[in-house]
Amino acid sequence: MSDTPHNDNNKSSEISRRGLVLVLSSPSGAGKSTLARHLLETDNAIQMSVSVTTRPPRSGEVDGTDYHFISLDKFQHMQKNDELLESAMVFDNGYGTPRKPVEDWLAAGRDVLFDIDWQGTQQVHEKLRDDLVRVFVLPPSADDLHDRLINRAQDKASVVAKRMAQASNEISHWAEYDYVVINDDLKTCQGEIAAILKTERLKRFRRVGLSAFVREMLEKL
């Protein structure tokens, strides 16, 4: 069941609104991908922004769905041509958000989900300002994060060690986000993110159709 305004058959849902960008950031292994997947499955008014990356695909990852896997040459070309809304080097690999799909979705009054790091979040904050809602996902503890990274076992041991070292750097940017959720219970965390999205969609400045709605009402009073 979706709880998006687009699916509700009430007066409120008919009022047009601006789309928003929901950013989810966290250190690797805090459960962010699971949270993102759940949100996309349960809410049909939000679409994932598929990033480009120069890192090789992990087993099970699908080109065009998880990432657009591209060469470093192509990545640099996209950066130069301003085809990326933001970009960053993470773990020695290039990552970036293609600009065009995001702009098209926002223009259509739909929402876009970004799974990007703190560097990318700072860049999109400069560009999108009020259209951006930033959520940071914290693991419940350092031990938990460590266990999840080891259990994931998709990366080489050296990569896991690097990710652990990067985790404290990523976490140190928690206060740059609008919301912080602690992923100790998946269901609770999913509910919190859904609540954030619902509330942000209801903000007056996003609901561009409200003026006409109220004007019409006042004319009839």
Residues that bind ligand 5GP (CB under 6 A): 28, 51, 55, 86, 88, 90, 95-97, 115-117, 119-120
Task: Give the nearer residue to ligand 5GP in terms of CB position, either 90 or 135.
Answer: 90
Residue showing the smallest CB distance to ligand 5GP in the complex:
120
Instruction: Give the containing element (helix H, strand E) for 147.
Output: helix 142-152
In whole angstroms, how close is the CB of 7 to ligand 5GP at the nearest point?
28
Beta carbons within 8 Å of 92's beta carbon, 6+ residues apart: none
Identify the CA nearest to 149 among candidates 136, 164, 137, 139: 164
Identify the CA nearest to 212 among candidates 57, 30, 17, 74: 17
Q: 139 φ, ψ to 5°? A: -75, 160
In whole angstroms, how close is the CB of 38 to ligand 5GP at the nearest point?
16
Task: Give the nearer residue to ligand 5GP in terms of CB position, either 189 or 201.
Answer: 189
Task: Give the nearer residue to ligand 5GP in terms of CB position, either 95 or 177.
Answer: 95
Q: With both helix axes pointing from N to C terminus, report the angle between 186-201 and 32-42 in degrees, rounded to the nearest 10.
A: 50
Compute the radius of gyration of the chain from its Cα atoms. Answer: 19
In whole angstroms, how close is the CB of 107 to ligand 5GP at the nearest point?
20
Task: Give the nearer residue to ligand 5GP in terms of CB position, either 167 or 206.
Answer: 167
In whole angstroms, how close is the CB of 70 to ligand 5GP at the nearest point?
11
For residue 21, the one-letter residue type is: V
